[in-house]
Structure 1
Amino acid sequence: MALYLLYESAFGYALFQVYRLDEIGQNTEAVRNSVSDLNHFGKVVQLTAFHPFESALDALNQCNSVSKGLMTDELRSFLELNLSKVKEGKKPKFSVGVAEPKLGSHIFEATKIHARDLKLGDLEKAQLGLGHSYSRAKVKFNVNRIDNMVIQGIFLLDTFDKDINSFSMRVREWYSWHFPELVKIVNDNYLYARVAKLIEDKSKLSEEHIPALTDILRDEGKAK
């Protein structure tokens, strides 16, 4: 029996056909290969039909109906147009997987199309496969430099260090116009920024600030 999956998105209704689901489901290694490789995944799940919503209002109405487990005329037309009509008294040669159980019941009552709930993990496998496929399409790997990602990561860290040092020097430079003595008291850039934020206006500095300064500097003598 053929298996289709109905997917309701913000853009419209999509119908996917699943191939060799039972065969793959019995083999963990095959499942892993199917969702991590674009070629394998494309052979397991293929887009059969797509129906876009006409407007944002239409999308809202359709999604509200789906959440309530109701099949709209638009969804019914979409299914009947892309699936073989089930003859009265005959067993269908396909079934449709849906995420909303109530919607599946309504579809069966109205069209006699056998709709069943997706098993736990089916949606996650499909999403994982799509994520891998999308990443492979967007990220350009250089086969001659397999360490490119490491190099880029190190470069990014170096850039962060330079930026932090630059900002720290700017804080020291600007705040020293207000409180020049602080530069000689606090050498560490991070602690200097914290102390400057605590003090703000030097004219308001008092004995009450000593405990807070001690917590930052870990040195009561320096805080005094």
Structure 2
Amino acid sequence: MPQSLYVLFEHASGYGLFRVKEFEEVATFIPEVEKSTNDVSKFQSLVKLLAFSPFKSGTNALDNMNSISEGLLHDDLQVFLESNVPKGGKKDKVVVGVSDAKIGAAITEELGIKCSHIGVVPEVIRGIRLHFPNMVKGLTEVSSAKAQLGLGHSYSRAKVKFNVNRADNMIIQSISLMDQLDKNINTFSMRIREWYSYHFPELVKIISDNYLYAKVVKLIGNRKAFTEESMEQLEELVMDSGKAQAILDASRSSMGQYSMYSLLIKTS
């Protein structure tokens, strides 16, 4: 049964509703969207702006974003969807793509519109986010950035909930943020080590520092393509000619799987 896919995009400047070109199979359509993402003209041939509703003010934008972040359907969004999403028939089912499952559930509950946040939807939203200023008439890169900056500041202030009677709240928040960032960096560093070790396992024993390891991985890339021509850069990076030579020798005799590098690039 055919489906008409529309995608809701929440931007700091307002709500946008996009119509996605009809397709038979999701599996074949996703690569088509991926290829067109970096080219605005190709992307617009697949995804077209159907309607745009700007926020009335900064306060109105913040009010809407607070509702969305909590998975609630704001009155403005309800009116926008009711006015612009076509009614589906027995033969043609309407689906609205959303970025968050909670807001999708709220839309379905309140308006009876089927929503989806999987399949081709994330890739379409990624393309819309990249080309949004070019797809909305009267919106520029500069005005889009200003709207995002203003809303970001307002939203952050509301979330932090600064208390003038307890100035240490900001310090506590900062320490908590630093701890979380440290955990995230450590997690991603371990992931880089684990994944790249399928391709070049010997590098872990030579480079112990996480930050330096990531920089070396970026420089080497495919170990089969790494040659003595890059040795000068590697020596500058590790600041040890002996260690740089050890890395080069290990790359030539590594027990890692060469085919894993291509797989890692595709999945990263």
Partner-residue secondary structure (3-state), 2:37: helix
Is the CA contact (8 Å cut-off) linking 2:6 and 2:19 kept in structure 1?
Answer: yes
* Letter matched to residue 114 of structure 1: K
* Letter matched to residue 100 of structure 1: D
How many residue pairs align between the two structures? 132
Whole-angstrom CA distance in 2 between matches of 1:27 and 1:91: 21
- The C-alpha deviation readout for 1:164-217, integer Å capped at 9, x for no partner, is xxxxxxxxxxxxxxxxxxxxxxxxxxxxxxxxxxxxxxxxxxxxxxxxxxxxxx
Whole-angstrom CA distance in 1 between matches of 2:42 and 2:62: 35
The verdict on how the C-alpha distance between 1:28 and 1:17 changes in structure 2, with shifts beyond 3 A counting, is closer
Q: Which runs of 4+ in 1 moved over 6 A?
A: none
* Letter matched to residue 36 of structure 1: N
- The C-alpha deviation readout for 1:25-53, integer Å capped at 9, x for no partner, is 51676345422333321110110001111
Partner-residue secondary structure (3-state), 1:54: coil
CA RMSD of aligned residues (A): 3.1
Q: What is the aligned-residue identity percentage?
A: 37
Is the CA contact (8 Å cut-off) linking 1:18 and 1:45 kept in structure 2?
Answer: yes
| Pairing of 1:13-52 with structure 2 (within 5 A) | 13-21=15-23, 25-26=27-28, 30-52=32-54
* Cα shift at 1:91: 8.0
Whole-angstrom CA distance in 2 between matches of 1:8 and 1:73: 14
Is the CA contact (8 Å cut-off) linking 2:6 and 2:17 kept in structure 1?
Answer: yes
Partner-residue secondary structure (3-state), 1:48: strand
Partner-residue secondary structure (3-state), 1:36: coil
Whole-angstrom CA distance in 2 between matches of 1:116 and 1:22: 17
Bigger Rg, structure 1 or 2 = 1
* Cα shift at 1:124: 3.1
The verdict on how the C-alpha distance between 1:68 and 1:34 changes in structure 2, with shifts beyond 3 A counting, is same
Do structure 1's residue 109 and structure 2's residue 109 form an aligned pair? Answer: yes
Deviating more after overlay: 97-106 vs 110-119: 110-119
The verdict on how the C-alpha distance between 1:115 and 1:12 changes in structure 2, with shifts beyond 3 A counting, is same
- The C-alpha deviation readout for 1:86-144, integer Å capped at 9, x for no partner, is 68xx687211011111111110111110011144544334445x29x79xxx9xxxxxx
Is the CA contact (8 Å cut-off) linking 1:24 and 1:30 kept in structure 2?
Answer: no
Q: For structure 1, list consecutive stretches of 5 or more residues without a partner in the other structure.
A: 139-224
Partner-residue secondary structure (3-state), 1:110: helix
Is the CA contact (8 Å cut-off) linking 2:55 and 2:61 kept in structure 1?
Answer: yes
The verdict on how the C-alpha distance between 1:8 and 1:105 changes in structure 2, with shifts beyond 3 A counting, is same
Whole-angstrom CA distance in 1 between matches of 2:57 and 2:33: 37
| Pairing of 1:1-224 with structure 2 (within 5 A) | 1-21=3-23, 25-26=27-28, 30-85=32-87, 93-119=93-119, 120-127=122-129, 130=131
